[in-house]
């Protein structure tokens, strides 16, 4: 009868969207397809920004770096099995780099998957994701979506940040429930990443060690950049007068031009320092595990600030562990030095200054050449100037020589402006990072890419054009990986590390309505980048680099195993 009251209904689709929105999620990076196409459409209709990519790995990398930039989990949305696996690479990379991210993948019917009866895109995704991320959850009932999303968010951002997998089977999306009960089932995560205060005794211990130092050094890692405790960190360094060394993604936390930046004297300070304070940096391969030739023979004491207790003593003894969040720990250290502090000796600071001056002078010679074809240094000299003039632009950087040399040459002036290959040294982050950097910050992005590195995500230039993002890509085109000169000893094929000679990557951008340039001199390069940054239009500059420039594997050629066997 007409008297029957209609109950308002909601369903899995809407509950997922409502749960994300309730928790302040504003953007989803993904690739549409079965079973999540409508989820993306509805999310867009509900006001979430949905950025659709051409490949899930790039969407995943975008989500990961969005997490790094904002301290909120970046969301990547994929289809089942193959799409999930494509996204999983980015999830594993995010976890390795301590970036908070949630990979949400649709999955096939549990009943069929579990009996291995051969469903469309059948795969036990939860089991596969588990060892590669911080936490993995599956939601089977619409009423549990609120809790599932809440757990995923908390797991991603609390403690050491990392990747979380959320498995949503196709059937879940169309499950209906009473709208009112649905709304009640949602959970707004309270204090998702709680402050973690260090014990006063740990602060005392650390200050005692630091005060005993003759040659102290601070190493800033990307954890320090992530923490967004910029003022506390700057104040600690300037008050103590201790020289600092930024890891690549910590560059700009204090300007690279800061008098206490010891970056240009890296090998000297690693060798000669006697007490090293690590701030959100791990003693992994990037720091030679805290031992060996790099660190010299003199005895060395390490103090480490990290939110993850298990990180302590992972490679060498940590004499003063400071477990806690960087903001709280540095805050406590700042309090602690109020009662007295003696600046490092002029001898130590003088040694560093002298070494820096020599190295900087040597380098600047190489940056000034205005020759054709360009080499890495002359091209980077132009880009160094660009960032100096536009310190709020975001620099994305990947490649081998293109990465290693740009890291040293291009000074950064503001925190979280340099995004690169991170802990794994992985190629393929470029376009995903560039898209998310533009979307999350609204700032212009300069992506400095090796020609090989660019190839891993190059199709996303279409995405950049489609969303009309202010991204300027510079492809360092030296005709190949490391160098452009390899040949096939048998004469059959091109050498294994070379690409098509004299390619014009700029034409790719033009194909999608963006702007393309071919730059053959540093002056041209600078002019084209300036034009791109001024216009904000999607631009790709093919920078012609001497194929003979560059060295095998950039700075890390020593990691290549060598054959001792001579073929007859
Ligand atoms: P880098 O490569 O720059 O040296 P790593 O990724 O090796 O940086 O180290 C980052 C470290 O920072 C990780 O050990 C991580 O646990 C830690 N970290 C991340 N966020 C915080 C935070 N808010 N407070 C304290 N430590 C953090
Ligand atoms: Mg190359």
Please give the ipTM for the structure prediction. Answer: 0.96
pLDDT for position 4:
62
Which ligand sits nearest to residue 498's alpha carbon? Answer: 2
User: Could you tell me the distance, in angstroms and rounded to a whole number, from the CA of residue 523 to the centre of ligand 1?
Assistant: 38
Which ligand sits nearest to residue 311's alpha carbon? Answer: 1
Report the atom number in ligand 1 closest to the C-alpha of 229.
23
Q: Which residues line ligand 1 (CB under 6 A)?
A: 97-98, 160-161, 221-223, 226-227, 247, 249-250, 280-282, 284, 286, 306-308, 311, 325-326, 423
Q: Whose CA is nearest to atom 5 of ligand 1?
A: 281
Nearest one of 322, 267, 270 to 300, comparing CA atoms: 270
| CA atoms of 93 and 430, how far apart (whole Å) | 13
Q: SS3 for 567?
A: coil
- List pLDDT tens digits, range 155-202: 999 999 999 999 999 999 999 999 999 999 999 999 999 999 999 999
- 302 near 319, Cβ under 8 Å? yes
Which ligand sits nearest to residue 195's alpha carbon? Answer: 1
Q: Whose CA is nearest to atom 9 of ligand 1?
A: 281
Residue 332: pLDDT band (50, 70, 90) is very high
Residue 328's CB is within 10 A of a number of other CB atoms, namely 19
Q: Whose CA is nearest to atom 3 of ligand 1?
A: 221
User: Could you tell me the distance, in angstroms and rounded to a whole number, from the CA of residue 475 to the centre of ligand 2?
Assistant: 9
CA distances from residue 25 to 18, 42, 50, 521 in whole angstroms, order as listed: 10, 14, 11, 44
User: Could you tell me the distance, in angstroms and rounded to a whole number, from the CA of residue 518 to the centre of ligand 2?
Assistant: 16
Looking at the predicted structure, is the pLDDT value of residue 276 above 80? Answer: yes
Residue 284 is encoded by which pair of tokens?
């992994």
pLDDT for position 278:
99
pLDDT for position 567:
65
| pTM for this prediction | 0.97
| CA atoms of 339 and 208, how far apart (whole Å) | 13
**Average confidence (pLDDT) over 535-555:** 94
Residue 343: pLDDT band (50, 70, 90) is very high
- List pLDDT tens digits, range 299-319: 999 999 999 999 999 999 999
Q: Whose CA is nearest to atom 16 of ligand 1?
A: 160
Report the atom number in ligand 1 closest to the C-alpha of 96.
6
Looking at the predicted structure, is the pLDDT value of residue 2 above 80? Answer: no
Which ligand sits nearest to residue 503's alpha carbon? Answer: 2
Report, in this order, helix, strand and coil percent for the chain, each rounded to 5: 45, 15, 40
- List pLDDT tens digits, range 233-256: 999 999 999 999 999 999 999 999
pLDDT for position 365:
87
- List pLDDT tens digits, range 358-377: 999 999 888 988 888 999 99
Residue 330 is encoded by which pair of tokens?
């540095």
Report the atom number in ligand 1 closest to the C-alpha of 219.
4
User: Could you tell me the distance, in angstroms and rounded to a whole number, from the CA of residue 305 to the centre of ligand 1?
Assistant: 9
Query: SS3 for 401-461, per residue?
Result: HHHHHHHHHCCCCCCCCEEECCCCCCCCCHHHHHHHHHHHHCCCEEEEEEHHHHHCCHHHH
User: Could you tell me the distance, in angstroms and rounded to a whole number, from the CA of residue 3 to the centre of ligand 1?
Assistant: 62
Which ligand sits nearest to residue 304's alpha carbon? Answer: 1
- List pLDDT tens digits, range 18-76: 999 999 999 999 999 999 999 999 999 999 999 999 999 999 999 999 999 999 999 99
- List pLDDT tens digits, range 204-226: 999 999 999 999 999 999 999 99
DSSP assignment string, 89-104: HHHHHHHHHT--EEEE
**Average confidence (pLDDT) over 459-484:** 97
**Average confidence (pLDDT) over 420-434:** 97
Residue 554: pLDDT band (50, 70, 90) is confident
Report the atom number in ligand 1 closest to the C-alpha of 422.
2
- List pLDDT tens digits, range 86-132: 999 999 999 999 999 999 999 999 999 999 999 999 999 999 999 99
pLDDT for position 86:
98
pLDDT for position 205:
98
User: Could you tell me the distance, in angstroms and rounded to a whole number, from the CA of residue 224 to the centre of ligand 1?
Assistant: 6
């Amino acid at each position: 009868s007409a008297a029957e009251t209609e109950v308002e209904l909601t369903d899995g689709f809407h509950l997922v969207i409502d749960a994300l929105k309730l928790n302040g999620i504003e953007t989803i990076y993904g690739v549409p397809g079965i079973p999540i196409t409508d989820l993306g459409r509805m999310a867009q209709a509900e006001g979430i920004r949905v950025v659709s990519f051409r490949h899930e790995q790039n969407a995943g990398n975008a989500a990961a770096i969005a997490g790094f930039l904002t301290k909120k989990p970046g969301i990547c949305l994929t289809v089942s099995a193959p799409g999930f696996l494509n996204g999983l690479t980015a999830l594993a990379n995010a976890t390795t780099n301590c970036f908070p991210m949630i990979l949400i993948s649709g999955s096939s019917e549990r009943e069929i998957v579990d009996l291995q009866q051969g469903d469309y895109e059948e795969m036990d995704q939860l089991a596969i994701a588990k060892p590669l991320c911080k936490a993995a959850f599956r939601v089977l009932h619409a009423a549990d979506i609120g809790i599932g999303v809440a757990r995923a968010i908390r797991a991603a951002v609390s403690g050491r940040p990392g990747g979380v997998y959320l498995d949503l089977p196709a059937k879940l999306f169309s499950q209906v429930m009473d709208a009112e009960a649905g709304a009640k089932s949602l959970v707004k995560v309270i204090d998702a990443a709680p402050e973690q205060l260090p014990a006063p005794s740990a602060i005392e211990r650390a200050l005692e060690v630091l005060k005993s130092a003759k040659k102290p050094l601070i190493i800033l890692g990307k954890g320090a950049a992530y923490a967004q405790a910029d003022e506390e960190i700057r104040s600690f360094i300037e008050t103590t007068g201790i020289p600092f060394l930024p890891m690549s993604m910590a560059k700009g936390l204090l300007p690279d031009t800061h008098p206490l930046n010891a970056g240009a004297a890296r090998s000297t300070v690693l060798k000669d320092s006697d007490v090293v304070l690590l701030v959100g940096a791990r003693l992994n391969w990037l720091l030679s595990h805290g031992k060996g030739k790099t660190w010299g023979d003199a005895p060395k004491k390490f103090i480490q600030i990290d939110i993850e207790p298990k990180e302590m003593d992972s490679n060498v003894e940590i004499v003063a562990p400071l477990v806690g969040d960087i903001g709280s720990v540095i805050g406590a250290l700042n309090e602690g030095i109020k009662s007295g502090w003696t600046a490092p000796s002029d001898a130590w600071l003088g040694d560093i200054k002298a070494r820096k001056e020599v190295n900087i002078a040597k380098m600047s010679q190489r940056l000034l050449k205005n020759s054709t074809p360009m080499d890495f240094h002359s091209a980077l000299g132009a880009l160094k100037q660009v960032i100096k003039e536009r310190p709020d632009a975001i620099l994305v950087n990947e490649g081998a020589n293109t990465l290693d040399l740009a890291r040293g040459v291009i000074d950064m002036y503001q925190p979280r402006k340099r995004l690169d290959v991170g802990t794994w040294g992985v190629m393929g982050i470029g376009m995903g990072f560039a898209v998310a950097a533009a979307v999350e910050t609204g700032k212009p992005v300069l992506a400095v890419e090796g020609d090989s590195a660019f190839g891993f995500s190059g199709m996303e230039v279409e995405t950049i054009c489609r969303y009309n993002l202010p991204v300027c890509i510079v492809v360092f085109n030296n005709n190949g990986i490391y160098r452009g000169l390899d040949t096939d000893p048998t004469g059959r094929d091109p050498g294994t590390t070379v690409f098509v000679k004299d390619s014009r990557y700029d034409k790719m951008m033009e194909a999608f309505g963006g702007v393309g340039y071919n730059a053959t001199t540093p002056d041209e390069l600078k002019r084209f980048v300036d034009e791109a940054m001024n216009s904000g239009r999607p631009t790709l500059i093919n920078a012609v680099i001497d194929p003979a420039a560059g060295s095998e594997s950039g700075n890390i050629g020593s990691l290549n195993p060598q054959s001792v066997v001579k073929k007859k």
